[in-house]
Amino acid sequence: MKIKLILGLCLAALGLPAQTMTNSYSVTPGLLLPDNNANGYSTTFTVNLENSITDISVALDITGGFNGDLYTYLVSPTGQMAVLLNRVGRSGSSAYGYSNTGFDITLATGSTQGNVHNYQNLGANYNLDGQLTGTWTADGRNLDPRSSGSLFSGTSPTLGLDNYIGADPYGVWTFFIADLSPGGQSTLQGITLNIMTVPEPQTWVMLGGGMAVFCLCRSWRFRR
């Protein structure tokens, strides 16, 4: 009976599911973005993780200005880019994009609210400061933000955050944002990069399994 119990503990230890871990990296610049200036603003996050990315998100807090003016992206240590915002709302019927003022959102993989580029058509909600709220899929449109509205209408999102799944996060990540149209100025209040990984090796699981096997062997020897 005791042997069966120990064996069961051993198998349970070896079969425990992997435990994910989320690491967050934040900056709060409180910066008034230069109006109609492609130089914009950039900052970096140094990530000391060596396990593959299982999920990733970016939280943005931006106030004021016009949302359709903004272009922002994230670049991984290996040079892989994700387009977070690309002149949201810009299309063949809207040359300037959305005129809402600010974001208090999370851009994530697989969001059920839909792509942030078309948020006005997808049941958008706003807080008391007029900022868009909720969790959205990154814009992902890989074209020059100064392109015509008609080109935006015909471009599918290909550079989303989901392209980072399975990648190695270790190194320096770069965040960039710029206001690319005159009139109104946005203030970048804060950015948070969230990276989820599965720690390897699962040391505590290996130790638990090893101890169970050790106890099983000792019990079997004494019973002989």
User: Based on the number of CB atoms within 10 Å of its own CB, is 159 exposed (0-12), middle (13-18) or buried (19 or more)?
Assistant: buried
| pLDDT tens track for 30-48 | 999 999 999 999 999 999 9
* Percentage of the residues of the chain whose pLDDT score is greater than 90: 77
pLDDT at 54: 97
Secondary structure letter of residue 84 according to DSSP? E
What are the residue ranges spanned by the domains of the chain?
Answer: 1-16+203-224, 19-201
Tokens standing for residue 12? 């349970």
Global pTM reads 0.83
| pLDDT tens track for 78-102 | 999 999 999 999 999 999 999 999 9
Q: What is the mean pLDDT of residues 170-187?
A: 97
pLDDT at 163: 97
CATH class of 19-201: mainly beta
pLDDT at 5: 41
| Whole-angstrom distance, CA of residue 135 vs CA of residue 111 | 6
Tokens standing for residue 195? 């990276």
How sure is the predictor about 110, in pLDDT bands with cuts at 50, 70 and 90? confident
| Whole-angstrom distance, CA of residue 8 vs CA of residue 30 | 56
Residues paired with 59 in a beta bridge: 106, 192
Tokens standing for residue 126? 């706003």
Higher pLDDT residue, 204 or 224? 224
With residue 178 as reference, give the H or E element that holds it.
strand 171-179
Rounded to whole angstroms, what are the CA distances from 20 to 12, 17, 114, 213?
Answer: 18, 9, 25, 26
